[in-house]
């Protein structure tokens, strides 16, 4: 059994490459039960790759070095390793690929319920995310934002030990984005779920995350408590990112003027 | 997307398929005709040689006095049925090869795909003629020859479809959530692959009808006295000028069958293109 203060997940020295290109170098962080970590960074920084490696997926990138400890189990990460940590739910970046196009959404939702042995559960999560009743719709009949919210709902239904969300609000308007993350936060606190999410929105990160990790070109340039990262960025890139956010916040009229 | 073989819910979304209906009516007519015809397709009747179409012999009779309408009906067993068998076996082999290649990747994939490529090097008709030449002309050898050259397209198609499906996140989710691999294959991979296979299958079916008829016409395929459409064309060749009906009706049968199947396939392809 884990003691209360041992982290749920700790990652050390993860390096990974796609072909000959190194996409992650010496990445590491720790995450405790019930905590929320926001990963921010530019497009192509390697955020999605990092998430998929933690899930034990070896596409597109293959780990070359590193050590993962999740829920008391150790996983050495290398070209030959093959262990997959159990009990992590994942919301992929692209909602369009998250559903079988041939199956009705209700079927896919019910199949998940069957797999989890939770028949008829999860209705309140759908409500809280503002989703309509899962009628006979096929995935393509729902908007991207609705698909994305349903993926989040499915991940929450699993009540995993850890939730990995890849830009879960990329297709949502700011109000619904906040609503979704509030629900995620509620379930996470209720069930003591650790959350790791990628986001491009520092305001959301500031609001919901306990910790922020900044990824820049495959390096984790800063990681720490959210307030500390936002107020005392430790490197040029982090400073630039944070400054940009405050510029937007303090000068709303300059945006409107354009 | 509109096709699934296993889920009744999804089937309801398939709109009426005129091409499919034509095919079914075609098949029923052939079956009923075979039951109702008073003639034997292979029994010669020398008193009635080369009769022109009449009320008794709708399509006339051939040089041995056999009823051509009856022979066209029974010929459908060879031309349509045999080719259907050949294509289906080829499709099954190709689908399995493609799936195995896509699932395993790496060297398995490489070996299977190089093998497929090398089989593509055999031109269809020539290899059939070669096999007939080596082992003697017979229906069995024809079938083997056509299967040997029919599976590669399926293997390539299924491999590429399967690779793109396997990388989709819903497959991954299903696996992460503990759905056994074979059920993922059965519930998600196959239904997403089969519509594409089906279109190729109709396409190959009509090509195989032409191949069987062509080879039989050349004398390499179905042997007399069996009533295969291509073999019937061969029978009528000597009488082209004096009794053209011997060739016209089996020729029309080939034309009509190939056209119907091709149109059905096209219709399905358009449907799929609309829905993807
Ligand atoms: N399938 C792939 N094949 C080859 N290279 C890839 C593949 N997927 C990603 N990469 C490379 O890996 C690097 C990191 O990509 P990744 O998708 O992790 O970025 P990201 O931080 O998630 O970006 P975004 O914010 O746009 O989602 C990029 O340089 C990209 O070029
Ligand atoms: Mg990404």
pLDDT band, residue A216 (cuts 50/70/90): very high
Residue B145 lies in a domain: yes
| B163 in A contact zone (CB under 8 Å) | no
DSSP B185: I
Query: What are B264-274's pLDDT values in tens digits?
Result: 888 877 777 66
Residue nearest to atom 25 of ligand 1 (CA): A43
Please state, rounded to an integer, the average pLDDT across all residues of chain A. Answer: 88
Residue nearest to atom 9 of ligand 1 (CA): A60
Q: Is the pLDDT of residue B9 over 50?
A: no
Q: Is the pLDDT of residue B29 over 90?
A: no
Contacts (Cβ under 8 Å, ≥6 apart) of A176:
A130, A145, A149, A169
Residue B120 lies in a domain: yes
Residue B107 lies in a domain: yes
Q: DSSP letters of A139-159?
A: GGGS-HHHHHHHHHHHHHHT-
Residue B190 lies in a domain: yes
Q: Is the pLDDT of residue B8 over 50?
A: no
Query: What are A218-227's pLDDT values in tens digits?
Result: 999 999 999 8
Residue B51 lies in a domain: no
Indicate the residue of B10, B178, B179 with minimum beta-carbon distance to A102.
Answer: B10
Residue B131 lies in a domain: yes
Bridge partners, B61 (sequence order): B67
Residue range A202-225: average pLDDT? 91
| B178 in A contact zone (CB under 8 Å) | yes
Give the span between the Cα atoms of A131 and B82, in whole angstroms.
53
Secondary element (H or E) of residue B132? helix B124-135
Q: Is the pLDDT of residue A26 over 90?
A: yes
**Best interface-test mutation with A: which of B163, B171, B177, B179 has the largest number of A CBs within 10 A?**
B177
Q: For residue A105, is it left (φ>0), alpha (ψ between -120 and 50) or beta?
A: alpha
Query: What are A61-97's pLDDT values in tens digits?
Result: 999 999 999 998 999 998 887 778 888 999 999 998 8
Q: How many domains does chain B have?
A: 1
CB of A218 closer than 6 A to ligand 1?
no
Indicate the residue of B1, B9, B178 with minimum beta-carbon distance to A107.
Answer: B9
Residue range B95-109: average pLDDT? 90
Per-position b or e across B235-267, b if 16+ CB within 10 A of its CB: bbeebeeebebbbbbbbebbeebbebbbbbbeb
**Best interface-test mutation with A: which of B170, B174, B184, B189 has the largest number of A CBs within 10 A?**
B170
Question: What is the distance in angstroms between the CA of the first residue and the CA of the last residue of chain A?
Answer: 57
For residue B113, the enclosing domain spans 66-275
Give the span between the Cα atoms of A32 and A7, in whole angstroms.
4
Give the span between the Cα atoms of B6 and A79, in whole angstroms.
39
| B148 in A contact zone (CB under 8 Å) | no
Burial of B46 (0-12, 13-18, 19+ CB in 10 A): exposed
Residue B208 lies in a domain: yes
Q: What is the CATH number of the domain that holds B198?
A: 1.10.3720.10
Residue B235 lies in a domain: yes
Answer yes or no: do B9 and A104 touch at CB < 8 A: yes
Q: DSSP letters of A6-66?
A: S-SEEEEEEEEEETTEEEEEEEEEEE-TT-EEEEEE-TTSSHHHHHHHHTT--SS-EEEEE
């Amino acid at each position: 059994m884990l003691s209360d203060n041992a982290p749920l997940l700790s990652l050390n020295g993860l390096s990974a490459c796609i072909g000959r290109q190194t996409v992650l170098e010496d990445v590491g962080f720790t995450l405790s039960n019930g905590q929320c970590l926001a990963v921010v960074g530019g497009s192509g920084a390697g955020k999605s790759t990092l998430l998929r490696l933690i899930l034990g997926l070896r596409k597109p990138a293959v780990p070359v070095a590193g050590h993962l400890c999740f829920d008391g189990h150790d996983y050495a990460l290398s070209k030959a390793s093959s262990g997959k940590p159990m009990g992590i739910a994942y919301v992929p970046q692209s909602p369009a690929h998250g559903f079988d196009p041939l199956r009705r959404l209700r079927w896919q939702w019910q199949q998940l319920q069957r797999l989890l042995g939770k028949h008829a559960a999860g209705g309140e999560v759908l409500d809280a995310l503002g989703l309509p009743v899962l009628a006979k719709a096929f995935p393509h009949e729902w908007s991207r934002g609705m698909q994305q919210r349903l993926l989040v709902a499915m991940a929450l239904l699993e009540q995993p030990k850890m939730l990995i969300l890849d830009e879960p609000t990329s297709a949502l308007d700011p109000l619904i984005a906040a609503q979704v993350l509030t629900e995620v936060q509620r379930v996470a606190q209720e069930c003591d779920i650790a959350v790791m999410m990628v986001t491009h929105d520092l305001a959301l990160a500031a609001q919901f995350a306990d910790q922020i990790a900044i990824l820049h070109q495959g390096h984790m340039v800063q990681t720490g408590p959210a307030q500390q990262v936002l107020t005392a960025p430790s490197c040029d890139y982090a400073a630039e990112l944070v400054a940009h956010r405050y510029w937007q916040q303090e000068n709303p009229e300059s945006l409107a003027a354009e | 997307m509109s096709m699934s073989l296993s889920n009744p819910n999804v089937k309801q979304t398939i709109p009426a398929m005129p091409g499919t209906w034509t095919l079914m009516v075609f098949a029923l007519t052939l079956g009923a005709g075979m039951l109702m015809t008073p003639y034997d397709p292979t029994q010669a009747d020398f008193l009635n040689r080369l009769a022109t179409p009449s009320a008794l012999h709708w399509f006339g009779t051939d040089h041995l006095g056999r009823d051509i309408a009856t022979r066209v009906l029974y010929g459908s067993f060879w031309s349509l049925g045999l080719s259907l068998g050949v294509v289906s076996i080829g499709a099954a082999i190709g689908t399995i090869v493609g799936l195995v290649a896509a699932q395993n990747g790496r060297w398995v994939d490489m070996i299977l795909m190089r093998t497929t490529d090398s089989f593509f090097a055999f031109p269809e008709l020539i290899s059939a003629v070669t096999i007939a030449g080596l082992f003697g002309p017979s229906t069995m050898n024809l079938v083997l020859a056509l299967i040997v050259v029919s599976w590669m397209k399926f293997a390539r198609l299924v491999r590429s479809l399967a690779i793109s499906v396997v990388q989709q996140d819903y497959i991954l989710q299903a696996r992460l959530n503990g759905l056994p691999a074979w059920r993922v294959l059965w519930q998600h991979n196959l239904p997403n692959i089969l519509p594409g296979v089906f279109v190729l299958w109709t396409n190959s079916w009509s090509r195989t009808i032409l191949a069987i008829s062509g080879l039989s016409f050349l004398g390499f395929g179905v042997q007399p006295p069996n009533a295969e459409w291509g073999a019937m064309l061969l029978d009528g060749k000597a009488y082209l000028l004096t009794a053209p009906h011997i060739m016209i009706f089996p020729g029309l049968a080939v034309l009509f069958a190939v056209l119907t199947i091709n149109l059905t396939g096209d219709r399905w392809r358009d449907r799929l293109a609309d829905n993807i």
